[in-house]
Each structure stands twice: as structure tokens, then as C-alpha cells.
Amino acid sequence: MPKTRAYSISAEDIAAERERVGGDVDAVNVANVIKLDDLELRDVGPTDVHLRILAASGEHNVDHAALADTVNIADARGGKIYPGNSAVGEVIGVGAQVRKFEVGDIVLTHCNGEPDRFGFPMRIWAYDQPESIGWYAEEAVVGEWQLVKAPLDCGLNLWEMAALPLRAPTAYHLWRRALGIYRVKVSREQQAVVNVMSFGGGVGELFLMLAKAEGHNAYFCSGSPERRAALEKQGITGIDQKAFNRFAARDDVKAFRRHVTELTRGEDMHIICDMLRGPVFPAGFAVQARQGVNVSAGWQLSQVIQYNSTLASVKQITLDHTHYETLIGVEAATELYGGVFKPTVHREIYAFEDLPRAFEEMHQNTQTGIPIIRIATDVPASVRALVP
């Protein structure tokens, strides 16, 4: 197969940037770690699909990989990884045994890397799955099982669809587990409408869209006025994190607690989508209602969590750690594009060459929505009308 341009993250570049900033992870410039590289693609096997990548979305696991803050995944993978596990592509070749797709199809990738016997992933593609090559590239070769047909008639544009392949299945998984766990404890007859809150981020937004679509009260706690405004148009109540100093001190958490209690007329939050770590966790824990569920799919900021287990036991609070959806769940989440999932996209669509800057701006938390990278300068006729 020919070579393609693809972005990589190497242990060597991580070490060089760490040395430049004197070991201060907060001072790392992610753009100095993500490098444009040449990659030789593997041959297309009988069950493989050859893709031309049209657009991709920025994902926080790339930030983790570049910072090596929780684990040095590039070093663990042998010194270099090719990231990117959320993209929209055009099929330009198929193996002899491929039946689901044909040349010209527009498809979505997913990041389930190594499913267990229940279908849930033990590893994530283009992150900790050995030998996996990601999709921040101009072309890629993937297994047929890693693709889903893009719902081109769902009402979303191409950039909005590119925002969802990783986030939509994650939110779908979080929501069905969170509500399912809550219903084990509290029946619909006892509490038909529940209060649901998330703390910022693309997954959290979609989580709330699911809750709202099913008739529940949804609250979006974010420091971004643009993202709060976008969700308020969908009937989701905004809460400004900055009004509580992003929960930097105990008094900030107490003030947030009072605000949420007043906002929910004393009920507090029955379901919370959280990172289960970092500064938002104590705030979420403080406003958790009795029998509440706090669910998370992330590990940003830390791998360690601390909380008052006695209080959690008395209040019957459940903390649930998730990862990513099953392949069936990915298909189900894709059916909700446009009807339920209407993502907030950052105002700038980044060029392929600007991908490192996109991730540094994600790291700095300055974006107004989900960052999208346009990889192909020209798109096929089938999606030209979907490019704003």
C-alpha cells in the first residue's frame, strides 16, 4: 500500500516537551507533541475497507496521550502511536469478503478495540489497543466491523456527524446504564421524571439530550456561555461553573449546593454524568439526591477517586464506571443522529495542517464546541450539500 500523511505521538516528543517545560505538565504545548508523519498502510485484507478520511473530531484521549498525564501510552505502545478514533470517511476500496460496504459509501468509524465476551471493549482503538492505527490521517485501512454507514439523511451536516462517532455511543452507554441503575432502586411509579445533570463536554451534552428527549429535567453545568446557550435552545437549563469559581474551594461547593437545591425545589440531582475525579466531583457528589447515580466514562485529570463512602452508603448513591459501547450499541446510537443528538460544533473548522493547534486549544479549553478537523479538501458529490 502507498504511504499516507498521518499524525503521530511519540514517546521521544513527549520527553522533549516535558524537558522544555521543566516537567510542568500544565505548561505543555500539545501542538509540540502531535506531529505530521508518513505512514505506510497495511495491505487491504479480505475483510478490510480502504478509506479516504473526510473529517475527524478532536478527542480528549489524544490530550492524555500527548501529556502522558495518567499513563505514557506512546511509550507503552512501543514508542509511538497514531491517534484518532472518531472520523467520517469515504470507502475507496473493499476486500473480497466485505459485504456491508461498497466503494463510494460514506461511513463512520468507532473506537471499540477489543470487545470482551459481553461485547464491551477492554481496549480502545488508536489508543491502548496494540497495533491499532488511528484516523487522523488522509487515508486508512480498517476492518469492516469497525465501520457504520453514515446516516446522510438525518438532518445533520458533515461536521456535526463527524463530532459524534465516539461521543454518541459513549453518551448512549452512559445514559442507558445510569437510568437502568436508578430504576433498580426507584421505579417509574415512584419518580417518573428525574433531574439529570452533566458537567460540560461533548459527551455530557449528548447525555442530556437523551435525558431531555425522554422527558426528564436536564441541567448543563459548564463554564462556556456558547455551549450553555446552544443547549438552552433545546430546553436544557444552563448552570455557569464560573459563578462558583469552578468549585476551587469548599465554600464554592457549598454555594453550588444551595443553588442546585433551590433550582430543583429541594430534590437535587438524581443522575449525574461526571468525570468522577477532579474539581467537579466534590460538587457533583454534594448535589446528589438520595438513591442517586453518578456515572462516568472518563479518566481525565487523575486515575484516583476519593469520597466519603459512609455518606454514599447512607444516601444509597451509586458510582458507575463505564468505558465505551458494544457494537450493537454503536449502531443504536447512530440511529439517534439528528433526531436526538444535535452536537455543538466549535465555530472554526480546522484544516488538516492545523490539527495540532486544534488540540492545544482543546487543552486550553478555549473552544466553543466540539472541534472538527477537515481532512479532505474535496468531498464526494454525495455529501457536498452537507458541507456548510
Of residues 305 and 369, which shows the higher confidence score? 369
What's the chain's average pLDDT?
92
Whole-model pTM: value is 0.93
pLDDT tens digit sequence for 2-24: 789 999 999 999 999 999 999 88
- pLDDT confidence bin for 70, thresholds 50/70/90: confident
Q: What is the pLDDT of residue 321?
A: 84
Is pLDDT above 80 for 298?
no
Average pLDDT over residues 300-328: 82
Spatial neighbors of 384 by CB under 8 A, at least 6 apart, are: none
- pLDDT confidence bin for 162, thresholds 50/70/90: very high
- pLDDT confidence bin for 172, thresholds 50/70/90: very high
- Rounded to an integer, what distance in angstroms lies between the CA atom of residue 321 and that of residue 318? 10
Q: How many residues does the chain have?
A: 388
Exposure string of 155-170, with b = 16+ CB inside 10 Å and e = fewer, is ebebbbbbbbbbbbbb
**Is-same-fold flag (3-166+344-386; 169-321)?**
yes
For the beta carbon of residue 199, count every other beta carbon within 10 angstroms. Answer: 24
* Selection from 216, 242, 215, 220 nearest residue 232 by Cα: 220
Domain spans, the chain: 3-166+344-386, 169-321
Is pLDDT above 70 for 342?
yes
Q: Can you list the alpha helix ranges (DSSP code H) found in 33-155? A: 60-67, 73-76
Q: What is the pLDDT of residue 274?
A: 78
Q: What is the CATH number of domain 3-166+344-386?
A: 3.90.180.10
- Rounded to an integer, what distance in angstroms lies between the CA atom of residue 131 and that of residue 117? 21
- Rounded to an integer, what distance in angstroms lies between the CA atom of residue 110 and that of residue 87? 8
Average pLDDT over residues 28-36: 94
* Selection from 368, 327, 283 nearest residue 146 by Cα: 327
Please tell us whether the domain made up of 169-321 is placed in CATH 3.90.180.10. Answer: yes
Of residues 313 and 186, which shows the higher confidence score? 186
